[in-house]
């Protein structure tokens, strides 16, 4: 009795039969075309561009509001309106003790805040931030860098982090550094 096996001698009976899908070169060409078509559809339909464009749009449209919030706080500090300045900070910053009324009162005598004239935002990054740590900024957050002008002609730089709270920008952190000497004070010192 002889049994005829459909497998060629030496073939593994447990391996699935191979189908010929064409040479490997044709398959890689098909994959290349498929990836190219997908990339073209993504770029042309705006699926990839929309999130980037929205971030840029948000930064541009929010810049003036952020600048006004920073300017108002610095004006309040310079005018020694500690309660008004404190209200410009986010409830998260106040509740976590990152800013207090006493700290703001001390800033009015600080050279970096005295004789304040204006603030100008030069760089802004608006993003959505979510964190398990409730002490860090959450939701819509703006990280800002800018310049500060003083009534005596001096200049400085600022860095700030703001949170959008109830539709308004509130400061979470603010750092202001005045350049060493203003032109007016240098002239007075030379006399």
**What domains are defined for the chain?**
49-186 (3.10.450.50)
pLDDT tens across 108-152, in order? 889 899 999 999 999 999 988 898 998 999 999 999 999 999 999
Mean pLDDT of 32-57: 66
| Alpha helix (H) residue ranges in 46-151 | 49-78, 82-86, 91-95, 101-107
Query: Which residue shows structure tokens 């005018």?
Result: 79
Where is average pLDDT lowest: 54-58, 156-160, 175-179, 186-190?
186-190
Cα separation, 124 vs 121, in Å, equals: 7
Cα separation, 137 vs 139, in Å, equals: 7
Beta-carbon count within 10 A of 108 CB: 17
> What does the pLDDT read at residue 76?
96
Cα torsion angle, 120, 144, 64, 78, sign = negative
User: Which pTM does this prediction carry?
Assistant: 0.66
pLDDT tens across 61-109, in order? 788 999 999 999 999 999 999 999 999 999 999 999 999 999 999 998 8
pLDDT tier for residue 34 given thresholds of 50, 70 and 90: confident
> What does the pLDDT read at residue 118?
95
Is the pLDDT higher at 176 or at 32?
176
> What does the pLDDT read at residue 95?
94
- CB–CB of 148/176 below 8 Å? yes
Is the pLDDT higher at 44 or at 64?
64
Cα separation, 9 vs 11, in Å, equals: 6
> What does the pLDDT read at residue 35?
83
Segment (H or E) for 34 = helix 24-45
Tell which residue, 73, 56, 52, 50, has the closest CA to residue 125.
Answer: 56
Read off φ and ψ for residue 27, nearest 5 degrees: -65, -40
């Amino acid at each position: 009795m002889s049994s005829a096996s459909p497998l060629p001698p030496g073939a593994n009976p447990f391996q699935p039969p191979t189908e010929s899908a064409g040479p490997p070169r044709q398959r890689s060409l098909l994959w290349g075309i498929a990836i190219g078509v997908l990339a073209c559809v993504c770029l042309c339909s705006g699926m990839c561009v929309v999130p980037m464009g929205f971030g840029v749009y948000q930064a541009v449209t929010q810049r003036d509001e952020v600048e006004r919030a920073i300017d108002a706080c610095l004006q309040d500090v310079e005018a020694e309106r500690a309660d008004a300045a404190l209200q410009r900070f986010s409830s998260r910053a106040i509740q976590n003790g990152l800013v207090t009324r006493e700290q703001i009162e001390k800033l009015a005598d600080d050279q970096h805040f005295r004789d304040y004239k204006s603030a100008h935002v030069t760089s802004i990054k608006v993003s959505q931030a979510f964190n398990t740590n409730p002490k860090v900024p959450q939701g819509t957050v703006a990280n800002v860098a800018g310049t500060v002008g003083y009534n005596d002609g001096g200049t400085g730089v600022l860095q700030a982090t703001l949170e959008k709270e109830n539709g308004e920008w509130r400061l979470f952190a603010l750092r202001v550094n005045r350049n060493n000497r203003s032109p007016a004070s240098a002239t007075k010192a030379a006399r």
